[in-house]
Chains A and B, each alone.
Chain A
Amino acid sequence: MTLSASQNRAGLALMAPAAMLAVIFLLLPLLAIFVLAFTDYQLGDRTLHFIGFDNFRELADEPIFWTSLGNTLLYSAVVVPGSVTLGLVSALLIDARTSLRSFYRTVFFLPVMASLLAMAVVWEFMLHPSFGIVNTALKAIGLAPHNWLKDGDIALYVLAVIGIWQSFGFNMVLFMAGLSAIPRDLYDAAEIDGAPNAWARFSLITWPLLAPVTVFVSITAMIRSFQVFDTVHALTQGGPSKSTEVLLYTIYAEGFEFFRSGRAAAITVVFIALVVAVSLMRFVSFKKNGKPA
């Protein structure tokens, strides 16, 4: 199909506003970040100097950056399997019954809609070391209480649990959409062919047919877990002693608390590289499957 010159012009003209907005609000800031990452710029300065790769070299020598990167990956390694599994299981359970479906769906989706910052305050009270409901319950059944948010060995996992609680409802909704796309007659056919039980039905039909959805859910869950910030900011501020420091929080602290903009930009570049790498994974996996989700 070929377009006439006027059709072409009209097309370009229609595209122009969106393209311009994308350049102004997406590409230019991104470009600015990449430029800043190679300077010694501090917020408020009127001048800046290019210092080559110095910011990155300093990052490589800085233990806090590596802690931050490690914590982000560890957080992700807990939250992604947790929230994907929980999302899948709850979707299957809700799908299996016809009664109260929308009730359960709404209830599990609530944490996704609630402001995580406000919810963090609730969690803070539940986890309070001396009168929080969690410790009170543990004591009641004879287990040792913990100082959840101030114990460097467990604080990150506590945040991960909150992260799972917050995000599994989102995954559940995606899985439910995936489930509804599976034709019912496949299950009927399996029954006629003598599939022995629910597990066989799941492993032979549901799981393979859900695969594209699972890949999509896992990758978005991973990217979202990299972006954890609210709970860290509200509950631990990266502490105690950097045990819950994650990349986004490091960027925030460097850029907006210490005003070391160049350094913050360098960490952002690393962060962007990480997200792009994960997104490429999705691209590659779709290619292999031959069709997008």
Chain B
Amino acid sequence: MKLILTATALSLMASTALAETTITVQYAYPELFDTTQNEMVKAFEMKHPDIKVEFRSAYKDYEDAAQRVLREGITGNVPDVTFQGLNRVRVLADKGIAVALDDFIAAEKDFNAAGYHEGMRQAGTVDGKVYGLPFAISLPIVYYNMDLVKKAGFDENSLPKTWDEIVALSKKIKAGGEADGIGTEWAITGNWLWQAMVFANGGTMLNADESKVAFDGEAGKKAIGTLASLVTEAQSPDMTPNEMLAAFSAGKIGVMVTTTARVNAVTKQIGGKFELKTGNYPDLQEGVSRLPAGGNVAMITAKDKAKQNAAWEFLKFATGPEGGAIMVKTTGYMAPNNKAADLLKDFYTENPNQAVALSQLPYLTGWYAFPGDNGLKITDVIKDRLQSIMDGSRAEEADAVLADMAADTQALLPRR
């Protein structure tokens, strides 16, 4: 009897000594992130033997991710850490499912020195509080079919730096008769590229207190003018995103503007058909321009304090240099953390097309989510208005389209 008691006591002591906390983690797009997450957790558990990470079956995509965690929020069955699309942070913050991270960040010494810069915090901020740290991000860049570019009389040293130059190059490619000049993936979730164009011009979507549309100001007028000129001058074809990607990979489009996340897939699809080069998003001005991050963000949903602490350790690891380096090598997304790139020097020398977007990191900002119950519906009305520019039906009256777009959006904003 005594023996049994001692044994129990011993085993109790042993388990308190290890003090194992288990956290559950759930992420989206298993086909992209399975390897990443497994490798990352292995490295994490090595460093933190007291924390055990368990996965829940992955979300199919960002829509599924948001739906599932919203439903689980009602039944109280949320995971401890969830990876969500960057534009869904707001919904989860509004419904009180995500935990604000400001206290954790304040308790960290040298948080900035660990590579977490202002833009990274902005990306997951809602109403002045940080709810998520970006994990795998993408920024808009420009893809060039160098064979077509060279035929148009340009080379890698004279690649466009402004929209005007892009339009000029696209016109020449189109005039060559072999391919279309330019395609933009403007339809991603309805408004990501639109935000990029407005933010790059120094504009915002709404005014400071989010009561009024602000994208109809100077920055927005310039942005819609640029979009329209792609149609009226460069004769950008009206295609669905899939059609455009296929056409570019087949050498039927010279210039393509879309997310960095596609570099891997596009390179594979091109095979050896032509030389691909990527270039920076045009017209970036220091101190004025910002670019919205696409991709996903890690959020804490645990309610229990011990689990929250463990989850925070995991968040730091995933969004820090080590997690970032593993993620970049296994996916093709960018790691937002400034220090991650230091661990990836060899990788980026071997993959220069991936490295291009790194120089855009200083411009990083959040992917803006509209406020209120109709927040996601607003992205849809913006998409429909942009469509009328891109299919040419109203490309000649871009300012009128912008006014309509602003009116539609204003009507869906919360009334105060």
Contact = CB atoms under 8 A, between A and B. Distances in A.
B239 interface: yes
A115 interface: no
B247 A258 contact: no
B30 interface: no
A233 to B, nearest CB: 11
A131 interface: yes
Given A44-B73, A239-B387, A258 B237 contact: no
**A131, A240, A253: residue with the most chain B Cβ atoms closer than 10 Å:** A240
A130 B247 contact: yes
Interface string A79-108: 000000000000000000000000000000
Contact of B237 (A43, A129, A149): A129
Contact of B239 (A43, A150, A257, A259): A150
B391 A130 contact: no
Most buried by B among A128, A147, A253, A259: A259
A235 B247 CA distance: 16
A235 B377 CA distance: 20
B73 A130 contact: no
Interface in B365-411: 373-374, 376-377, 380, 383-384, 387-388, 391
Contacts of A131: 246-247, 250, 252
A129 B97 contact: no
A260 B374 contact: yes
B240 A257 contact: no
A45 interface: yes
A257 B63 contact: yes
A124 interface: yes
A44 B384 contact: no
Contact of A241 (B91, B246, B384): B384
Q: What interface size band does chain A fall in?
A: 20 to 34
A242 interface: yes
Given A44-B95, A45-B95, A131-B247, A260 B373 contact: yes
Given A43-B67, A259-B91, A147 B373 contact: no
A283 interface: no
Contacts of A149: 240, 243
B242 interface: yes
A264 to B, nearest CB: 11
Contacts of A72: none
A131 B237 CA distance: 13
B12 to A, nearest CB: 39
Nearest to B67: A256
A43 B95 CA distance: 9
B390 to A, nearest CB: 9
Given A43-B71, A130-B252, A241-B387, A124 B380 contact: no
Nearest to A125: B246
A130 B63 contact: no
A258 B380 contact: yes
Contacts, number: 79
A139 to B, nearest CB: 14
Given A44-B97, A150-B238, A259 B70 contact: yes
A49 interface: no
Given A44-B73, A128-B243, A147-B238, A258 B376 contact: yes
Contact of B242 (A45, A124, A256): A124
Interface string B146-184: 000000000000000000000000000000000010000
A271 B380 CA distance: 22
Contacts of B373: 40, 42, 260
B3 interface: no
A42 B70 CA distance: 10
A130 B236 CA distance: 12
Contact of B243 (A40, A124, A242, A257): A124
B74 interface: yes
Interface in A39-81: 40, 42-46
Nearest to A45: B95
A102 to B, nearest CB: 37
A26 B29 CA distance: 31
A256 B63 contact: yes
Given A44-B95, A147-B238, A128 B70 contact: no
A23 B242 CA distance: 43
Nearest to B88: A259
B397 to A, nearest CB: 15
A105 to B, nearest CB: 34
A254 B373 CA distance: 11
Contacts of A236: 240
Nearest to B238: A150
A258 B67 CA distance: 10
B247 A128 contact: yes
Given A130-B247, A241-B388, A260 B377 contact: yes
Contacts of B391: 150, 152, 240-241
Interface in B223-261: 237-240, 242-243, 246-247, 250, 252
Interface string B92-103: 100101000000
A257 B237 contact: no
Nearest to A252: B63
Interface in A245-293: 253-254, 256-260
A257 to B, nearest CB: 6
B61 to A, nearest CB: 11
Given A128-B246, A260-B374, A240 B180 contact: no
Contacts of A258: 374, 376-377, 380
A40 B383 CA distance: 25
A173 B242 CA distance: 35
Interface in A210-260: 235-236, 239-242, 253-254, 256-260
7 contacts: A44-B71, A124-B242, A129-B243, A150-B240, A241-B384, A258-B376, A260-B377
User: 3 shortest A-B CB distances, which residue pairs?
Assistant: A44-B70, A44-B95, A258-B377
Interface of A: 40, 42-46, 124-125, 128-131, 147, 149-150, 152, 235-236, 239-242, 253-254, 256-260
Interface of B: 63, 66-67, 70-71, 73-74, 91-92, 95, 97, 180, 237-240, 242-243, 246-247, 250, 252, 373-374, 376-377, 380, 383-384, 387-388, 391
Given A44-B73, A259-B91, 15 more contacts: A43-B70, A44-B71, A44-B74, A44-B92, A44-B97, A124-B240, A130-B237, A130-B247, A150-B238, A240-B391, A242-B384, A257-B380, A258-B376, A259-B66, A260-B373
